[in-house]
């Protein structure tokens, strides 16, 4: 049976190169596309997991492994791809094991996720693509309960621990000529105050 696969996190070095180019006023369209589509793949994986869905590795059909209703429950038993003649099978447990501990849950960042999925493929210029990437990697998980910032969403997108990724983004914001990140820094301060005592 074909295996379920999820897009990996993007390497820091690629993103850093993009921001160094940007700061120097250079455009490397190839790198921009490479990073932008790697993030898009990653976002698509997060979108599927967050919605309890899987993309059939045999035919590409997307189907749900969760039950409808309050909260969510995994469907029990063998699940067969609904596409006629496909026959690929999995189970909710098997599906869950493929993404567990891979930072693929993005419920609290779904606005940022939806915006990137919608806007990046439509961006027409290098500048528009860069803005999409910049907004995505500086987004946060926002508590569904009280609207507070819980985590940096970049931790789901870029390699490294949560702390390392926030430090990495902070380093990017120190590059000359970049977008003003005062507001983002304030958000990070608030987030860490709130996260005190949490890993």
Whether the Cβ atoms of residue 58 and residue 86 lie closer than 8 Å to each other: yes
Q: How far apart are CA 199 and CA 192, in angstroms?
A: 10
Shortest Cβ distance from residue 104 to Zn ion (Å)?
Answer: 21
Whether the Cβ atoms of residue 31 and residue 126 lie closer than 8 Å to each other: no
Mapping DSSP to helix (H, G, I), strand (E, B) and coil, where does residue 133 land?
Answer: helix
Show contacts with Zn ion in window 73-112 (CB under 5 A): 81, 83, 86, 88
Q: Which is nearer to Zn ion, 49 or 56 (CB)?
A: 56
38 in contact with Zn ion (CB under 5 A): no
Shortest Cβ distance from residue 81 to Zn ion (Å)?
Answer: 3
62 in contact with Zn ion (CB under 5 A): no
Whether the Cβ atoms of residue 90 and residue 79 lie closer than 8 Å to each other: yes
Q: Which is nearer to Zn ion, 88 or 99 (CB)?
A: 88
Hey, what are 62's tokens? 């997307």
Sign of CA pseudo-dihedral 187, 178, 155, 135: positive
Q: Which of 23, 59, 117, 179 binds Zn ion (CB under 5 A)?
A: 59
Q: Which of 51, 58, 102, 195 binds Zn ion (CB under 5 A)?
A: 58
Q: Which residues would be at the binding site for Zn ion (CB under 5 A)? A: 56, 58-59, 61, 81, 83, 86, 88
């Amino acid at each position: 049976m074909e295996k379920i696969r999820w897009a990996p996190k993007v390497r820091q070095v690629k993103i850093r190169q993009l921001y160094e180019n940007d700061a120097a006023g250079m455009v490397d369209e190839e790198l921009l596309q490479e990073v932008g589509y790697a993030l898009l793949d990653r976002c698509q994986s997060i979108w599927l997991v967050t919605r309890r869905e899987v993309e059939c590795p045999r035919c590409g059909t997307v189907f749900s492994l969760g039950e409808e209703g309050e909260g969510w429950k995994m469907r029990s038993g063998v699940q067969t791809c609904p596409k006629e003649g496909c026959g690929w099978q999995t189970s909710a447990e098997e599906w869950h094991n493929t993404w567990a501990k891979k930072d693929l849950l993005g419920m609290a960042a779904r606005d940022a996720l939806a915006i990137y999925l919608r806007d990046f493929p439509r961006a027409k210029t290098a500048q528009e693509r860069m803005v999409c990437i910049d907004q995505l990697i500086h987004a946060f998980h926002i508590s569904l309960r009280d609207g507070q910032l819980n985590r940096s969403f970049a931790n789901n997108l870029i390699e490294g621990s949560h702390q390392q990724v926030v430090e990495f983004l902070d380093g990017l914001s120190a590059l000359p000529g970049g977008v003003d990140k005062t507001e983002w820094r304030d958000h990070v301060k608030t987030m860490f105050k709130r996260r005190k005592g949490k890993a």
